[in-house]
Copies of this chain bind each other. A is one copy, B any other.
């Protein structure tokens, strides 16, 4: 039996919810649940509105996800492009350290977007796969440029496969951000934050030793990721 129409007010709540706030909420819920498991109802609850409102601002759940990507990737690509400027004469190892800093700052606090991107690459829908791979290609190209400049300057050993090394460098960094914090308390007996800090430093040292023309040369001091100098 259909109950009689309710007497609740049906209009907009005192606080407006715009598309950007919806994306904030989606980011949080995607981070917790993943793309498939995150429900529009949960996103709406997080944003404090009705699920149907999402369809006023976006065409579908998938459109919401691509809008989320469009908000996240451009700044990363912009900073990486600036960092890969050939006129930057700093040691290559320092510039690689800043690559980690850029990823850390832009994606560090958001495990959802990373797991999401990775998950969609490995087994996502075809359309989303191409979208993500396009964004990733732009970022990866800059790191590759940086490595090739290092080879040209004689700092990086020739014979290195720049694209493969880029894949190694970036991919393991994302794993350090993603899964090292989850296993660190159990396996390394340290806090998640310390794990990421030590992990990034250890990874850069190992990676640089692996690609440097002179692997035994001491590393220059690496600024702490929390310090001001780390932010270009």
Binding site for B on A (CB under 8 A): 32-34, 36-37, 111, 115, 118-119, 121-123, 129, 133, 136-137, 140, 161, 163-165, 167-168, 171-172, 175, 178-180, 182-183, 186-188, 198-199, 202-203, 205-207, 209-211, 215-216
Bound-state Cα–Cα, A115 to B165, Å: 22
Per assembly, the copies of the chain total 2
Q: CB within 8 A of A183: which of B119, B167, B175, B206?
A: B167
Bound-state Cα–Cα, A220 to B183, Å: 33
Bound-state Cα–Cα, A122 to B183, Å: 9
Question: Chain B nearest CB: distance from A140 CB in Å?
Answer: 7
Bound-state Cα–Cα, A207 to B172, Å: 12
Given A34-B123, A182-B122, A215 and B206 contact (CB-CB distance below 8 Å): no
Bound-state Cα–Cα, A207 to B209, Å: 9
Bound-state Cα–Cα, A177 to B178, Å: 18
**B36–A202 touching, CB < 8 Å:** no
Q: CB within 8 A of A206: which of B182, B198, B210?
A: B210
Q: CB within 8 A of A172: which of B32, B172, B178?
A: B172
Q: CB within 8 A of A111: which of B123, B165, B188, B210?
A: B123
Show 19 residue pairs from A and B whose CB-CB distance is below 8 angstroms, ordered by the A residue: A32-B123, A111-B122, A111-B123, A115-B123, A122-B179, A129-B182, A133-B183, A137-B186, A164-B198, A164-B202, A165-B202, A167-B187, A171-B172, A172-B172, A205-B210, A209-B211, A209-B215, A210-B215, A215-B215
